[in-house]
């Protein structure tokens, strides 16, 4: 078998055999296939696609490129969730402690933010002392002892995805349904959870721009998950405007803490309760969706979820005092304001433009490895449908350096559109795929 023949087959639209897919991934991981051939192959896959069998073979080859975790010795259903990436998406920070407080066992491997989308590991890095890189046995021990652990992608797990993702990022091959499905599912399979909830984002701030593409991605991932023995449910959820009121790492931690108190933005709370109820069902802790949602609402209201957050932070070495004193996360030195320039109703708050503005403040990275300003971000005071008067505060912008504020504010301004009447609010959860 030769790499050039596999590239040619895919270029010409053939379906690759399982052996060919595995050969390509194994040799690429070992450094025997160079980046220029892998780049050509990725573009061929991007343009020609892959059927479900090929995507499943790619998922397994990626997952097998490194170590895999197995929690079956715990005798409990370990569950995990994954979002395909959005703007202001801090649901993991709310959901995991909330579910841990309901007795669910959770093992999550998370990524750093890339491009205009944020990542859980960057958000957790804001917490003084918090250890985001747990060794494999430490991660497994933390899950066994406390029922909840989150760690960054370790270099010995799914190394092929790490290499390929970096290459996709610079070859315009990220937004491909089979490549995203295999990338996401390989990490979920390697991380060892038996129940998976996938939050597939659709809209301007997501990789998938159309509902039909998002539904196709969701269906493909659910099918692969099930075929590999995982209980898998996917929800397609809206990402036209940022989720909640905060975009940027330390602001999102503060907003997650508010949500864990049962307070804060209605859309964030609603999505967390919806995703959380699905996860309670996946973990066999409840049979009925409404009862699951009700139970989670009570855990937010009575402080149990917040207490689980304190335990989780302390368990991974972090300063749990940030829960009651968020200034311990740091206070940004520079601040700016964006004011409304007309009266009316907010008809659009484009998630992509808001994400780009947060990046311009320093909250994100263009390339893997770039430094991030953890205190940079945006607080949104108006969301779609809100009435606005000229001169009213739309958003505050924060960063560690004043020079980023004006260019970011100019970008953020492009996110907004106003009209004479409030647009009809659409649902947050658009489809459920099982």
CA within 13 Å, CB half, 92: 31
The number of residues that bind ligand URA (CB under 6 A) is 8
**DSSP annotation string for 301-331:** HTSHHHHHHHHHHHHTT--GGGGT-GGGG--
CB of 291 to ligand URA, least distance (A): 32
Closest to ligand URA by CB, 62 vs 305, is 62
Q: x/- site string to ligand URA, residues 106 to 135, per CB under 6 A?
A: ------------------------------
Which listed range, 176-184, 197-205, 272-280, 354-362, lies at the site for ligand URA (CB under 6 A)? 176-184
Q: x/- site string to ligand URA, residues 214 to 243, per CB under 6 A?
A: ------------------------------
CB of 85 to ligand URA, least distance (A): 5
| 184 lies in the binding site for ligand URA (CB under 6 A) | yes
Which listed range, 177-185, 257-265, 330-338, 354-362, lies at the site for ligand URA (CB under 6 A)? 177-185
Pick from 84, 105, 241, 245: which binds ligand URA (CB under 6 A)? 84
Q: Is 241 strand, coil or helix? A: coil
Pick from 180, 198, 275, 380: which binds ligand URA (CB under 6 A)? 180
Q: Are 358 and 249 in contact (CB under 8 A)?
A: no
Catalytic residues: 82, 161, 168, 183, 187
Closest to ligand URA by CB, 117 vs 249, is 117
Round to whole Å and give the CA distance between 230 and 193.
8
Return the percent helix, strand and coil in the chain, to nearest 5: 45, 15, 35
Regarding beta strands 393-399 and 334-339, do their DSSP bridges make them parallel or antiparallel, or are they unpaired? antiparallel
CB of 186 to ligand URA, least distance (A): 9
Straight-line distance from the first to the last Cα atom of the chain, in angstroms, rounded to the nearest whole number: 37
Q: Across-strand partners of 379? A: 246, 396
E strand or H helix at 348: strand 344-349
Q: Which residues form the interface with ligand URA (CB under 6 A)?
A: 84-85, 174, 179-180, 183-184, 207
């Amino acid at each position: 078998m030769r790499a050039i023949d596999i590239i040619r087959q895919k270029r010409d639209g053939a379906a690759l055999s399982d052996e060919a897919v595995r050969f390509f991934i194994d040799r690429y991981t070992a450094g025997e296939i160079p980046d220029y051939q892998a780049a050509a192959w990725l573009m061929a896959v991007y343009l020609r696609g892959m059927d479900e069998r090929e995507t499943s073979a790619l998922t397994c080859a990626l997952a097998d490129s490194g170590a895999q975790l197995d929690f079956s010795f715990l005798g409990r259903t370990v569950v995990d969730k994954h979002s395909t990436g959005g703007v202001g998406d801090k649901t993991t920070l709310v959901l995991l402690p909330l579910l841990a407080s309901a007795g669910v066992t959770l093992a999550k491997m998370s990524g750093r933010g890339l491009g205009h989308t944020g990542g859980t590991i960057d958000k957790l890095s804001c917490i003084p002392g918090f250890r985001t890189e747990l060794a494999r046995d430490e991660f497994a021990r933390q899950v066994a002892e406390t029922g909840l652990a989150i760690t960054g992608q370790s270099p010995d797990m799914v190394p092929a995805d790490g290499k390929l993702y970096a290459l996709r990022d610079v070859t315009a091959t990220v937004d491909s349904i089979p490549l995203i499905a295999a990338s996401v599912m390989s990490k979920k399979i390697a991380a060892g959870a038996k129940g998976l909830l996938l939050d597939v984002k659709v809209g301007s701030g997501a990789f998938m721009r159309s509902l039909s593409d998002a539904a196709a991605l969701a269906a493909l991932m659910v099918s692969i998950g099930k075929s590999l023995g995982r209980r898998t449910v996917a929800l397609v959820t809206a990402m036209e405007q940022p989720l909640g009121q905060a975009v940027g790492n330390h602001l999102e931690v503060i907003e997650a803490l508010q949500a864990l108190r049962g307070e804060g933005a209605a859309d964030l709370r609603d999505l967390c309760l919806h995703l959380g109820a699905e996860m309670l069902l996946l973990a066999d802790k409840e049979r009925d969706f409404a009862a699951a949602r009700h139970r989670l609402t009570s855990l937010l209201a009575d402080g149990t979820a917040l207490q689980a957050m304190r335990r989780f932070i302390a368990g991974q070495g972090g300063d749990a005092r940030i829960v009651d004193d968020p200034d311990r996360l740091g206070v940004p030195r520079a601040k700016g304001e964006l004011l409304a320039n007309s009266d009316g109703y907010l008809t659009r708050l484009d998630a992509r433009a808001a994400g780009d503005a947060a990046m311009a403040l320093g909250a994100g990275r263009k390339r893997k490895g770039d430094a991030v300003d953890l205190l940079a971000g945006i607080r949104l005071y108006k969301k779609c449908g809100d009435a606005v008067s000229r001169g009213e505060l739309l958003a505050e912008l924060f960063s560690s350096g004043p020079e980023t504020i004006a260019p970011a504010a100019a970008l953020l301004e492009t996110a907004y559109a106003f009209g004479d009447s409030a647009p009809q609010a659409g649902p947050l959860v658009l489809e459920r795929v099982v």
